[in-house]
Amino acid sequence: MTNKHFKIGVVGLWHCGEIYSAGLAELGHEVIGIDGDKNVVANFLKNIPPLPEPGLAELLKKNRDTGRLRYTTDFAEMKNCDVVWITYDTPVSDMDDADMSSIYAALEASAPHFADGVLLVVSSQVPIGTSKEFERYIRGARPGMKFDYVYTPENLRLGEAVRCFMEPGRVVIGADSDAAAKKVEEIFAPLKTATIRMSPASAEMAKHALNAYLATSVSFINDIADICEKTGADVLNVARALRSDPRIGPKAFLDAGLGFSGGTLGRDLKALGAAAKNAKIDLPVIQSVYEKNLKRKDEIVVRLVSLIGNPKNQKIAIFGLTYKPGTKTLRRSRALEIAADLSKMGAALSLYDPAVEESELPKIKNASFSRDPYAAAVSAKAIVIVTPWPQFKELDFEKIVGVAPGAIVFDTANLLAGNAEAFRSAGMRYAGVGR
């Protein structure tokens, strides 16, 4: 059976849009990426995406060379599209509140150009109830125009986004009409993956629920880790036992450490909280998960102080600065938050990350940056592993002992737990989380 091809306008070209435009073209569709930012579009025409992802530049070049993928700033181009796909990344405040203004502005700019009979698909992360508002707006802006609407939440992860798009475990399709759901199934047919149909509201809630569940797992295991530290248990072994239970599973989010950051999980917890407030109901579990995570960074700093004493005038090396491994993104980085706290306490900081340039870092008092981990470790009282870059497993810690004798390695991600005895044999102290 031959796959059906569609002409798709992808509107909003930051992280979500760069992946969806290239990915949909790779599935064989004719795609035009649309964004009002001239610099962003100009870079796409050079196969340079706004956020680098493994394999993305090659995917852009391949599909632009075939003619399946184009980019423009002209919103009027969508008048020739069978499908218009909204992929704006939803900004999140430092308090995890979603700012929907840019997405509403994009809808307002796009609506005049919709073709009659268009299928509007939204993959931006939106609060529950947004789909109803979008449909209501379109009916008011284009009375009499026929259209279908689908909400299919993105499930991309920084550093793995191309793989997440091309190898999804399933695709959630929120649609009120069978015809609309079938069309989205046809679009994704080359992926040969399962699809799950439901209403747009259920799809919105499914995304909230998924992220809330993951967040709950993280806060739960951090609670367990705190108890382990006081009772002599090892959270790594506890998590291993939990994952072995088929009711939980081997991929469960059960890594004790600093908690979740970046805004994605927090945004969905806050969205659920807002929906509950409007419905006049309490969500004590969701609220506790959020509060636990909010305090987690401070608890880790307290643990570090208990290990090394007063940080004032002590040199502390922080390894791993991005908010997660596999990306250069620094926004909402727990490592930088910890660095700022330690700086206020009078510590001298030495910062290292394998992916970050010094020019990208915010100014932090008493902090220096090094491109060499061994130079960063010189004379450090403590080496704090924050972002768990896999490259850290390859470090020569005997060499580090030579430049930082007697230092303590505080591994907030338990990344190097398997090397604990080797550290001790080399003359270094090692401390993880929940152990």
Where do the structural domains in the chain lie, given as residue ranges? Answer: 7-198, 207-290, 295-431
Q: What H or E segment, with its residue span, contains residue 69?
A: strand 69-72
Q: Please, which pLDDT band fits residue 428 given cuts at 50, 70 and 90?
A: confident
CA angle 132, 133, 139 (to 5 degrees): 90
Alpha helix stretches (DSSP H) within 280-350: 284-308, 334-344
Fold of 207-290: N-(1-d-carboxylethyl)-l-norvaline Dehydrogenase; domain 2 (1.10.1040)
Q: Say whether pTM exceeds 0.75.
A: yes
User: 359-407: per-residue pLDDT in tens?
Assistant: 999 999 999 999 999 999 999 999 999 999 999 999 988 898 899 998 9
Distance of alpha carbon 330 from alpha carbon 334, whole angstroms:
9
CA angle 66, 27, 82 (to 5 degrees): 90
- Average pLDDT value over all residues in the chain: 94
Domain 295-431 is of which CATH architecture? 3-Layer(aba) Sandwich (3.40)
Task: Answer yes or no: are the C-beta atoms of 300 and 258 closer than 8 Å.
Answer: yes
Mean pLDDT of 239-268: 92
Residues paired with 236 in a beta bridge: none
Give the three-class secondary structure for 9. Answer: strand
Has residue 102 got a pLDDT over 70?
yes
Fold of 7-198: Rossmann fold (3.40.50)
User: 163-215: per-residue pLDDT in tens?
Assistant: 999 999 999 999 999 999 999 999 999 999 999 999 999 999 999 999 999 99
Mean pLDDT of 251-261: 92
Residues paired with 313 in a beta bridge: none
Mean pLDDT of 235-246: 97
One-letter amino acid for residue 210 of the chain: L
Q: Please, which pLDDT band fits residue 346 given cuts at 50, 70 and 90?
A: very high
User: 114-150: per-residue pLDDT in tens?
Assistant: 999 999 999 999 999 999 999 999 999 999 999 999 9
Weakest-pLDDT range from 180-184, 242-246, 261-265, 340-344: 261-265
Asked whether the domain spanning 295-431 has the same topology as the one spanning 7-198, the reply is yes
Beta carbons within 10 angstroms of residue 221's beta carbon: 24
Cα→Cα distances 353→244, 320, 338, 367, 371, Å = 34, 5, 15, 14, 7
Has residue 309 got a pLDDT over 80?
yes
Q: Please, which pLDDT band fits residue 98 given cuts at 50, 70 and 90?
A: confident
Which pLDDT belongs to residue 2?
A: 52
Which pLDDT belongs to residue 1?
A: 41
Residues paired with 367 in a beta bridge: 349
